[in-house]
Structure 1
């Protein structure tokens, strides 16, 4: 069904792995998919979707200048569009994707985190939570065993960072998932 989907979670929940599995499933049936990831995410190299399980795949990059309406015309020939790191979309890009999903009859599945290390929404995630036709939380756990819904940024000594720029690219060495209780424990 042609809808805009938003699948969200805290860090380390398997979002990229799920995206890559969906792409594989479509292609296994002989259908074409288009993958996008944020240009800002260069942990595995620019234009690569990388799962912590070791799966990697090339993807087209988006940045704040990307016009999805122009990239995804009505005669696209695609079965699905998959977007990783969707929290880095701008609200207008989310609106473009919503419009394309409905006017071009193209399922668009976005994967991302809702909030930053301070508990503030990313603009792209806030827009997706507003416009997406289908929302799904991908669950993961905190080190204490509770459901993780928050993200914590760590400094070079492994201490919780409470202030700073919203985006500092990094992986497991820089961020970890947390339940709300642990997030606020020494905030």
Structure 2
């Protein structure tokens, strides 16, 4: 059962073709830690089909009359293809991510999705990582590419892929609730690393 530990909120954006486990692992760790996290479908259909043909039903959609990007403290972009392409083609989402980052609010992305941040110019001169197949996009857009599993540079948090999503989720828990909460979450999931 969800026990809310903070008023801070996270929006995880689900586009058709996403890597569902990248999204759900991070959402799960936030949920376990008491951090409100909405699964937000890009568009008007709550049911989103992943790159592995798994259907996920989201909590809300960007087309909802009462949806506002400003209601969230963290915007999270999962990877996957063509999910990442679909995220990057949403002008509304890209405008919101740019504004969120410019306001000093947290933006997180994993796998291919950091390439969206790079193309928006948000990673220029910043430390970042992504799936190795997309690190050239980061470098071409001025990022200082790291091979670390999770890279936090100010309000931008990037991660390499599904295998690093537990660490990404823990990093977000740590940012929102602190080290003790992250350690408690590690214990709950029997994190062995």
- Which bracket does the TM-score occupy, shorter chain normalised? 0.3 to 0.5
Bigger CA radius of gyration: 1
Higher helix proportion, which one?
2
- Larger relative contact order (C-alpha < 8 A, sep ≥ 6)? 1
TM-score by length of 2: 0.38
TM-score by length of 1: 0.39
